[in-house]
Structure 1
Amino acid sequence: MVPVYGAVVDSQTRCKHYHTKKDIIAIKFKCCNKYYPCYRCHEECEDHPISVWKKEEFGETAILCGVCRTEYTIHRYLQMDRCSHCGFQWNEGCKKHYHLYFQFEENSGRP
């Protein structure tokens, strides 16, 4: 089983910061190669700054569905609104934090 670090509150990777029904993904942080439910969990547990995934690295497996534990590449995750394996919907509000995890193309507003 893939370990998820941080203030995890249940078996589906929800944390003390984000714990709605749809908060079921964990993100592998490039800087430490560890899965965390959110950037705040990473900040609380690590002593280094977050490194964002560059566009050319979007083929890396870095997203974990907390329900079925399926891992996705960043590229695939950005194309989906739910897990293609178990069908559970992901929190659309995560898009507000994409800039903390993924490199944006200049002036596009999208990763």
Structure 2
Amino acid sequence: MYIHSQKVEGLLVDAQTRCRHYSSDKDVIAIKFPCCDTYFPCFMCHHSYADHAPTVWKREQFHTKAILCGVCGFELTIRQYFDCDSKCPKCQSGFNPGCQNHYHLYFET
């Protein structure tokens, strides 16, 4: 599915990047995986669709745009995402703060 001109793979349930695994009001981001340069709503969607094991973003790559706001289409760098206080810096839509519990699945910690 294309969301704001970005292709997002996975078990999507709507056009704001919510998926079958995470579909609350605030589950409105997709994360680009460095192993395949593809956006997915979550690590479980990557597992369902990709034919390879995921890799995480290294600290020296945190300047890379790898987070997509499903509400407005703004692409955040990983550093911007860490520093945004769970809100899109462009449209102010709230992101799920519980995603922090899964950072180790996406980012070098």
Range class of TM-score, shorter chain: over 0.9
Tell me the CA shift for residue 47 of structure 1. 1.3
Which residues of structure 1 form unaligned runs of 5+? 105-111
The 5-angstrom pairing of residues 9-88 of structure 1 reads: 9-80=13-84, 81-88=86-93
Tell me the CA shift for residue 74 of structure 1. 0.3
1:41-78 superposed Cα distances (whole Å, 9 cap, x missing partner)? 00000111110000000001100000000001001100
Q: Which has the larger radius of gyration?
A: 1
Distance 1:88 1:63 in 2: 14
**TM-score, normalised by the number of residues in structure 1:** 0.92
Distance 1:100 1:77 in 2: 15
**TM-score, normalised by the number of residues in structure 2:** 0.94
1:92 paired to 2:85: no
RMSD: 0.5
Distance 1:73 1:89 in 2: 17
1:2-55 superposed Cα distances (whole Å, 9 cap, x missing partner)? 011000100100000000000000000000000000000000001111100000
**Counterpart selection for 1:101 from 81, 93, 106:** 106
Equivalences, count = 104
Which residues of structure 2 form unaligned runs of 5+? none
Tell me the CA shift for residue 84 of structure 1. 1.2
